[in-house]
């Protein structure tokens, strides 16, 4: 049997985010183009060298990018929208980065989430212009490794079906033309790779794990038939991930030399399919068995036994033992983590450690011997040690979880009755105005925080500064004339980290960065233990603000599902249980806010929709427990306490039902960029609770004029009644400048006054 170890892709950011620094330096003009290319080349080769030293058989190239791999392909195929033509005389890099980030007078291409990950890719736009192969970067990368390191690598490309599936701008008719033009270009790229000496070419096709209707399956068959006929000499590994291969019976028969399957996230379905339909005997099978989406060490004995089942079911004689998806979704190495609890550290595996696991497992599969004698027992001991760690055995939390009953998941009265009572108690005007939570984090705020972190400032001095900034913004809000205030969130950098640092069960790494988009990296906290509330986390700052005004100041929390979805989460208990633990902690915080006299409490859930599984048939299970976690956190309040929530960065059109189930008294939604769409979907599917559709886009420094906001308000009135209508910007304002924020909010308040007049509504 032929056994090869490989990964689908490796993180390009580098152990110390060298890649990010190089790219940003170039953007700022502090690096010549030549030096930029030289530095990146060095980083690429180092990454390959590193994987080589870790002992992996087959190293991938083409997993490296200058910004995003979808953009790389779009650029390579000449898919450059018309609006960038003005940059035709600029360098290749200037045009490339203009598409990624915009340039003077040209907006950037849209960016959106890469399947169900936290990575965001650039959406290619097809405008009907002729495609052409400009510069085959992948061949450069292949030759670079071959010539400089003497290593034959496996070039990877996002496959043609996924590429067209994620490209925007065509209709049914132009789609055919698009595909017709695109396939020969893929064939060209592949042929050039074969000519350069590539043995295998990996085509990544995550879109083949979505549910596909019959005509799409037929299209995929047609595309691959054409491709294989035009490059008969190429050995193609069709790599699927994030879920099981869909329509297995047909798609496993595609004319390619190998098929890679995800046996972590699509394990059961892939196994069942192989059992039912077999695996084509002439093909290589890629067994994605090491999780590329989590940070935990694998139980090697279990992995080996899974692989053995796949082998015996499939009868495959040629196998690739690989990661379940690209390792770009995990940090580079645990080596630089010096401050973590050793028990936790031992149980972690980032990219390099995962590669070692793959090497170990594949060696065992081919030789029936472990490379190191104790490797299996070591992996089990590490997992065992973490599972018996006291952080995972918090009796209080287990008791609270046990004692939850159905009544904990719902408010004492239905919304209709709560609304009447809240209206009487709160005495807010019609069309109340408010903001989403954060106000601009000025250079001074950032500077002061940095000084405090470096111990150049005492805790008291820092707290006094935050208090002063909060007070200043209370006054600004009075001046603007808003109805419901916020304290401004000056004490927070990140809405998850802030809570994680105050709850038990979280750990923070020093260097575990992953790319979120472009050069932006995030360092998600690790939820490794039971989550428990110990002390009030937000009360002081909110109360400081409340004392200064007669207006209501909203309490401001991040919701349980968002905290979960933006962290790396322990894998020994279901995510649902972790969500409930966080919910119980937040419930205690909400109680503390209520006890301190806060009447309106907002629990943000911007990441609620992000957790949706890829396959629509699995949505309801997730939505059920996610909604319940939110309700567990928010339902035990007094009838008159008004619960708000906020969501953004996503499409709500197919998500109104889950939003309604949250039973939040008020929701604010980001809509300013897709307002019309939301209005039409609210026409079809009415929403009855309190709601504020974002009236201007906070992502832009532009100050909206009153008439523009009025337009949005009037349009919204078609689907939202006066009783439920709130007025707010579409997200937090922390990235904006003070002057534009104040000007925009003043216009928003003016528009609110106008709409009250127009509708003849009451002012309390």
Q: Catalytic residue positions?
A: 699
- To ligand GLN, the closest distance from the beta carbon of 564 in angstroms equals 15
- Which position among 648, 727, 744, 751 is part of the footprint of Zn ion (CB under 5 A)? 648
Cα–Cα nearest to 145, from 134, 135, 156: 156
- Which of the listed partners (Zn ion, ligand GLN, none) does 344 bind, with a CB threshold of 5 to 8 Å by partner kind? none
What does 644 interact with, of ligand GLN, Zn ion, none (CB < 5 to 8 A by kind)? none
Closest residue to ligand GLN: CB criterion = 732
CA 623 – CA 646 distance, rounded (Å): 17
Nearer to ligand GLN (CB atom), residue 337 or residue 604: 604
Tell me how far, at minimum, the Cβ of 678 lies from Zn ion, in Å: 15
The set of residues, in sequence order, having a beta carbon less than 8 Å from that of 13 and lying 6+ positions away, is 19, 20, 332, 513, 514, 515, 521
Residue 115 CB contacts under 8 Å (≥ 6 apart), including other chains: 206, 242, 614
Considering beta carbons, is residue 290 or 647 the nearer one to ligand GLN? Answer: 647
Neighbours of 54 (CB within 10 A): 20
Q: How far is the CB of 165 from ligand GLN (least distance, A)?
A: 28
Residues 74, 69: Cα–Cα separation, whole Å? 9
Residue of 237, 303, 311, 436 that binds ligand GLN (CB under 6 A): 436
| Shortest Å distance, C-beta 667 to ligand GLN | 12
CA dihedral 204, 209, 210, 212 (to 10 degrees): 100
* CA distance linking residue 652 with residue 681, whole number of Å: 9
Nearer to ligand GLN, 641 or 741 (CB): 741
The answer to whether 1 and 45 are in contact (CB under 8 A) is no
CA proximity to 420, closest of 181, 639, 687: 639
Tokens representing residue 199 in the block: 């043995």
Q: How far apart are alpha carbons 317 and 281 in whole angstroms?
A: 8
What does the alpha-carbon distance between residue 534 and residue 523 come to, in Å, rounded to a whole number? 24
Is residue 39 within 8 A of residue 31, CB to CB? The reply is yes
Q: Given candidates 331, 500, 606, 611, which one binds ligand GLN under the rule CB under 6 A?
A: 606
Q: Which does 556 bind (CB under 5 to 8 A by kind): Zn ion, ligand GLN, none?
A: ligand GLN
User: Contact with ligand GLN (CB under 6 A): which of 76, 145, 311, 556?
Assistant: 556
329 forms part of the interface with ligand GLN (CB under 6 A): no
Q: Which is nearer to ligand GLN, 333 or 602 (CB)?
A: 602
> What separation in angstroms does the CA of 103 have from each of 37, 90, 106, 109?
21, 12, 5, 11
- The piece of 100-108, 424-432, 433-441, 543-551 that touches ligand GLN (CB under 6 A) is 433-441
φ/ψ region of 653 (left if φ > 0, alpha if ψ in -120 to 50, else beta) reads alpha
Taking CB under 5 A as the criterion, which residues in 583-612 touch Zn ion?
Answer: 606
User: Is the Cβ of residue 77 or residue 726 nearer to ligand GLN in the bound state?
Assistant: 726
Q: How far is the CB of 606 from Zn ion (least distance, A)?
A: 5
Tokens 């099981």, located at residue: 244
Minimum CB–partner distance for residue 641 and ligand GLN (Å): 18
- Decide which of Zn ion, ligand GLN, none touches 9; Cβ closer than 5 to 8 Å per partner kind: none
491 binds, among ligand GLN, Zn ion, none (CB under 5 to 8 A by kind): none
x-or-dash pattern for ligand GLN, window 380-419, by CB under 6 A?
----------------------------------------
331 binds, among Zn ion, ligand GLN, none (CB under 5 to 8 A by kind): none
The interface region with ligand GLN, picked from 122-130, 397-405, 436-444, 679-687 by CB under 6 A, is: 436-444
User: Closer to ligand GLN at the Cβ: 26 or 652?
Assistant: 652
Residues in 494-513 that interact with ligand GLN by CB under 6 A: 495
Give the 3-state DSSP-derived string for 465-496, with helices as H, strands as E and coil as C: HHHHHHHHHHHHHHHHCCCEECCECCCCCCCC
Q: Which of residues 632-691 bind ligand GLN (CB under 6 A)?
A: 646, 648
Which of 731, 742, 748, 749 forms a contact with ligand GLN (CB under 6 A)? 731
**Least distance to ligand GLN from the beta carbon of 556, Å?**
6
Number of neighbouring beta carbons within 10 Å of residue 720: 21
Coarse DSSP helix, strand, coil percentages of the chain, rounded to the nearest 5 percent: 50, 15, 40
Residue 40 CB, nearest distance to ligand GLN (Å)?
32
Applying CB under 6 A, the site for ligand GLN has a residue count of: 13
Q: In what order do the strands lie in the sheet with 666-669?
A: 555-558, 600-604, 642-647, 666-669, 690-693, 725-726
Size of the site for Zn ion (CB under 5 A): 3
Q: Considering the complex, what minimum distance in angstroms separates the CB of residue 646 from Zn ion?
A: 6
Q: Which of 541, 732, 749, 752 binds ligand GLN (CB under 6 A)?
A: 732
Three-state DSSP class for residue 434: coil
Contacting residue, 731, 733, 745, 749, with Zn ion by CB under 5 A: 731
Of 307-315, 492-500, 644-652, 755-763, the window that binds Zn ion (rule: CB under 5 A) is: 644-652
List 337, 530, 604, 665, residue binding ligand GLN (CB under 6 A): 604
Cα(662)–Cα(626) distance, rounded to whole angstroms?
Answer: 9
* Rounded least distance, CB 712 to ligand GLN, Å: 19
Q: Which is nearer to ligand GLN, 70 or 556 (CB)?
A: 556
Long-range pairs for 363-371: beta carbons < 8 A, 24 or more residues apart: 363/5, 364/300, 364/304, 365/1, 365/3, 365/304, 365/307, 365/308, 365/311, 365/319, 365/321, 366/1, 366/3
Among residues 207, 159, 210, 208, the alpha carbon closest in space to that of 183 is found at 159
**SS3 (DSSP) at 157:** strand
| Parallel, antiparallel or unpaired: strands 555-558 and 600-604 | parallel
Where are the strands (E) in 614-751, listed by range?
642-647, 666-669, 690-693, 725-726
Are β-strands 514-517 and 520-522 bridged in parallel, bridged antiparallel, or unpaired? Answer: antiparallel
Which C-beta is closer to ligand GLN: that of 118 or that of 394? 118
Q: Which is nearer to Zn ion, 142 or 652 (CB)?
A: 652
Shortest spacing between CB 626 and ligand GLN, in angstroms: 16
For residue 670, the minimal CB distance to ligand GLN (Å) is: 8
- What tokens were used for 583? 């919910």
Q: Which is nearer to ligand GLN, 262 or 605 (CB)?
A: 605
Task: Please say which residue, 489 or 530, places its beta carbon nearer to Zn ion.
Answer: 489
Query: Segment contacting Zn ion (CB under 5 A): 55-63, 382-390, 704-712, 729-737?
Result: 729-737
CA 351 distance to own-chain centroid: 18
Which residues of this protein are in contact with Zn ion, per CB under 5 A? 606, 648, 731
State the residues that interact with ligand GLN by CB under 6 A. 436-438, 489, 495, 556, 604, 606, 646, 648, 731-732, 734
């Amino acid at each position: 049997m032929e056994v090869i170890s490989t990964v689908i892709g490796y993180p390009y950011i580098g152990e110390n985010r060298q890649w990010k620094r190089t790219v940003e330096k170039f953007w700022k003009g502090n690096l010549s183009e030549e030096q930029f290319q030289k530095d990146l080349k060095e980083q690429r080769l180092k990454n390959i060298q590193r994987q080589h030293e870790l002992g992996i058989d087959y190293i991938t190239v083409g997993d490296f990018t200058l910004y995003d791999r979808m953009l790389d392909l779009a650029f390579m195929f000449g898919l450059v929208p018309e609006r960038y033509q003005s940059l035709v005389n600029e360098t290749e890099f200037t045009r490339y980065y203009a598409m990624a980030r915009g340039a003077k007078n040209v907006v950037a291409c849209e960016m959106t989430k890469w399947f169900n990950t936290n990575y965001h890719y650039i959406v290619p736009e097809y405008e009907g212009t002729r495609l052409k192969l400009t510069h085959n970067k992948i061949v450069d990368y292949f030759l670079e490794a071959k010539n400089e390191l003497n290593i034959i690598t496996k070039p990877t490309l996002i496959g043609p079906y996924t590429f067209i599936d994620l490209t925007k701008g065509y209709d049914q008719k132009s789609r055919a033309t698009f595909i017709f033009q695109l396939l020969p270009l893929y064939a060209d790229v592949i042929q050039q790779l074969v000519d350069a000496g590539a043995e295998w070419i990996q085509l990544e096709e995550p879109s083949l794990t979505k549910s596909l209707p019959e005509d799409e399956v037929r299209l995929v068959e047609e595309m691959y038939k054409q491709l294989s006929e035009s490059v008969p000499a190429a050995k193609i590994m069709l790599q699927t991930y994030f879920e099981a291969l869909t329509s297995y019976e047909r798609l496993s028969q595609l004319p390619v030399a190998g098929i890679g399957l995800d046996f972590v996230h699509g394990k059961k379905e892939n196994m069942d399919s192989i059992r039912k339909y077999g695996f084509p005997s002439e093909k290589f099978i890629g067994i994605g068995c090491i999780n590329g989406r989590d940070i935990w060490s694998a139980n090697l004995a279990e992995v080996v036994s899974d692989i053995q089942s796949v082998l015996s079911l499939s009868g495959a004689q040629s196998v690739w033992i690989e990661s379940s998806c690209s390792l770009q979704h995990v940090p580079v190495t645990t080596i630089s983590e010096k401050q973590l609890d050793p028990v936790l550290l031992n149980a972690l595996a980032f990219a390099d450690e995962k590669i070692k696991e793959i090497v170990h497992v594949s060696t065992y599969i081919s030789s029936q011997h472990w490379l190191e004698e104790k490797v299996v027992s070591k992996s089990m001991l590490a997992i065992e040690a973490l599972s018996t760690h006291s952080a995972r055995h918090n009796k209080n939390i287990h008791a609270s979880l046990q004692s939850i009953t159905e009544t904990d998941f719902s408010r004492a009265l239905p919304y209709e009755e709560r609304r009447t009572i809240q209206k009487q108690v709160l005495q807010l005007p019609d069309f109340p105005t408010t903001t989403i939570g954060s106000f601009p984090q000025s250079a001074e705020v950032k500077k002061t925080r940095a000084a405090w972190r470096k111990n150049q400032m005492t805790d008291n001095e820092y707290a006094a500064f935050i208090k002063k900034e909060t007070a200043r913004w209370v006054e600004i809000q009075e001046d603007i004339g808003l109805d419901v205030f916020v304290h401004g969130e000056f004490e927070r950098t990140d809405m998850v980290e802030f809570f994680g640092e105050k709850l038990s069960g979280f750990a923070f790494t020093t260097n575990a960065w992953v790319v979120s988009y472009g050069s932006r990296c995030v360092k998600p906290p690790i939820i490794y233990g039971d989550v428990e509330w110990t002390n009030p986390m937000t009360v002081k700052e909110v109360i400081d603000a409340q004392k200064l005004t007669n207006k209501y100041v909203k309490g401001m929390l991040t919701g349980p599902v968002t905290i979960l979805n933006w962290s790396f989460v322990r894998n020994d208990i279901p995510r649902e249980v972790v969500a409930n633990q966080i919910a119980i902690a937040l419930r205690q915080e909400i109680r503390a806010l209520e006890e301190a006299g806060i009447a309106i409490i907002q629990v943000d859930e911007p990441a609620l929709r992000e957790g949706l599984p890829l396959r629509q048939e699995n949505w309801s299970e997730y939505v059920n427990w996610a909604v319940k976690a939110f309700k567990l956190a928010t339902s035990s309040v007094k009838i008159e306490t008004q619960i708000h929530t906020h969501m953004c960065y996503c499409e709500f059109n197919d998500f109104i039902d889950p939003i309604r189930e949250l039973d939040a008294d008020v929701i604010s939604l980001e809509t300013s960029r897709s307002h019309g769409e939301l209005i039409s979907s609210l026409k079809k599917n009415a929403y009855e609770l309190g709601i504020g559709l974002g009236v201007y886009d906070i992502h832009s420094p532009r100050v909206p004029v009153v008439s523009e906001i009025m337009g949005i308000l009037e349009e919204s009135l078609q689907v939202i009644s006066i009783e439920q209508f709130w007025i707010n910007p579409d997200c937090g304002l922390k990235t904006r400048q003070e002057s534009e924020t104040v000007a925009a909010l003043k216009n928003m308040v003016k528009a609110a006054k106008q709409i009250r007049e127009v509708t003849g509504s009451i002012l309390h």
